[in-house]
């Protein structure tokens, strides 16, 4: 049986895909990708993700989330404020049946993005509120943790979150193993192939706790080329190589992991 891939974290609603989305989706399905877990970063993207699900109901699995960094449509990112969540709140409840997860949510304590304690406090406030919504709606969370791996995992454990994907995880192996203990999963995009920095981490996380993602349009093999979901095969091969397994094994187990974490995404 052909199990296919699940791209556990991608931004298929991004502007970068507007021009040629049909071709992108065609390449995606040709590469064997069965499900795109489509995350959002701000309330302005919610409607777009639902439209894409209507257009590609067998492929697009929508998530709603308010990211710890907000772009305001410009290149300057700023730390999220509690009021950024206000417009989103009714949407989570209104569309709860269609959502497969709450995401992309999390913490980003990169110094130039969150320079003050107030920024960090605001992010924490928004993160915890969304963790509580996920629990209330009985949904898993799709989580961003940059320069904040330890505190992100500790916060989720503290709030009784049992189902989480930590995407593009770059924390220490010891921190990752705390997440493994809590039952969390970790995903890695094609960008991990650019250097060997994550090899030790990938080796130490059991395959039963790993998923595949592209984070497209970002985090591809080449920093200056748009990434797309068909590149999931790159992540699969790389993880197989690091772990000394066959790509088929990694494909099979990561897909099973993904559908266990996101049961509503499994329409097969």
Q: What is the CATH number of the domain that holds 145?
A: 3.20.20.140
Q: So what's the pLDDT on residue 161?
A: 98
Query: Is this structure's pTM higher than 0.75?
Result: yes
Task: Please state, in angstroms and rounded to a whole number, the distance separating the CA atoms of residues 252 and 150.
Answer: 29
Q: So what's the pLDDT on residue 187?
A: 98
* Residue numbers in the chain where pLDDT is lower than 70: 1-2, 72-75, 267-268
Instruction: Note whether 48 and 82 are within 8 A (CB).
Output: no
Structural domain boundaries, residue 13? 5-265
Instruction: Note whether 182 and 160 are within 8 A (CB).
Output: no
Q: So what's the pLDDT on residue 72?
A: 62
- Which structure tokens are listed for 81? 């404020």
The model's pLDDT over 31-74, given as tens digits with 9 standing for 90+, comes to 999 999 999 999 999 999 999 999 999 999 999 999 999 986 56
Q: How many domains does the chain have?
A: 1
Q: So what's the pLDDT on residue 180?
A: 98
Phi then psi for 123, rounded to 5 degrees? -60, -45
Q: So what's the pLDDT on residue 184?
A: 98
């Amino acid at each position: 049986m052909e199990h296919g891939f699940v791209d556990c974290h991608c931004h298929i609603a991004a502007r970068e895909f507007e021009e040629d989305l049909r071709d992108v989706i065609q390449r995606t399905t040709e590469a064997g990708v069965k499900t795109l877990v489509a995350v959002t970063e701000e309330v302005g993207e919610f409607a777009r993700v639902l439209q894409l699900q209507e257009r590609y109901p067998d492929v697009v699995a929508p998530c709603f989330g308010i990211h710890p960094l907000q772009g305001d449509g410009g290149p300057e990112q700023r730390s999220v404020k509690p009021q950024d969540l206000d417009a989103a709140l009714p949407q989570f409840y209104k569309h709860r049946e269609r959502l497969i997860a709450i995401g992309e949510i999390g913490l980003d304590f990169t110094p130039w993005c969150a320079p003050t304690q107030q920024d960090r406090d605001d992010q924490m406030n928004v993160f915890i509120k969304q963790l509580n919504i996920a629990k209330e709606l009985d949904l898993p969370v799709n989580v961003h943790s940059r320069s904040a791996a330890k505190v992100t995992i500790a916060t989720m454990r503290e709030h009784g979150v049992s189902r989480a994907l930590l995407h593009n995880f770059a924390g220490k192996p010891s921190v990752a193993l705390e997440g493994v203990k809590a039952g969390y999963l970790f995903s890695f995009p094609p960008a991990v192939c650019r250097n060997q920095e994550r090899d030790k981490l990938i080796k130490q996380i059991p395959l039963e706790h790993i998923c595949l993602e592209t984070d497209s349009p970002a985090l591809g093999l080449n920093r200056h080329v748009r990434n797309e979901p068909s590149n999931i095969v790159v992540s699969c091969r790389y993880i197989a190589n690091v772990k000394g397994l066959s790509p088929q094994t990694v494909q099979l187990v990561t897909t099973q992991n993904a559908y266990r974490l996101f049961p509503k995404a499994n329409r097969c």
